[in-house]
Amino acid sequence: MITVIHLESKQNSFSFLNFAGNSEEGDQQIRNGSIDIIFASPETLVGDPYWRSQLQQLSVGLIVLDEFHTITTWGGDEETDEQEAFRKWFRYIGEMRAMFPNATALALSATCTNKIKKQVMKILNFKTDNTMFLNVSPNKSNIKLVVKKIENSVDTAMFWLIDSLERLGKDFPKTLIYANSINEVSKLYTYTTTEVPMCKSLVEMFHSETSDKNKKKIIEAMCQISSDIRIVFATTALGMGIDVVACHSIILYGSPRSILDLVQEIGRVGRDNSNSVAILMHNFYHLRSVNKEVKTVFTTNTCRRQVLMSNFLQDTELEELAKKECNKHTCCDNCVKNCSCGDCEILQIETLIENVELFSSDDDFLAELDENV
pLDDT above 70: percentage of residues in the chain = 84
Do domains 2-123 and 143-357 share one topology? The answer is yes
Q: What is the pLDDT of residue 367?
A: 40
**Burial zone of 23 (CB within 10 Å; 0-12 exposed, 13-18 middle, 19+ buried):** middle
Q: What is the pLDDT of residue 359?
A: 42
Q: What is the pLDDT of residue 339?
A: 81
Listed by start position, the domains of the chain span 2-123, 143-357
pLDDT tens column, 309-366:
999 988 888 888 887 755 677 899 999 888 877 778 889 999 999 876 544 444 443 3
Q: What is the pLDDT of residue 159?
A: 93
Read off the amino acid at residue 347: L
Q: What is the pLDDT of residue 296?
A: 95
Q: What is the pLDDT of residue 1?
A: 54
Q: Which residues of the chain have pLDDT under 50?
A: 7, 9-10, 18-20, 358-373
The CATH code that applies to domain 143-357 is 3.40.50.300
**Other C-beta atoms lying within 10 Å of the C-beta of residue 371:** 7
Q: What is the pLDDT of residue 330?
A: 84
Q: What is the pLDDT of residue 73?
A: 77
pLDDT tens column, 5-36:
554 544 555 555 544 455 777 778 778 877 78
The CATH code that applies to domain 2-123 is 3.40.50.300
The sign one gets for the Cα dihedral 27, 33, 37, 38 is positive
Buried b (16+ CB within 10 A) or exposed e, 131-153: eeeeeeebbbbbbbbbbbebeee
Q: Do residues 251 and 350 lie in contact, with contact meaning Cβ atoms separated by under 8 Å? A: no
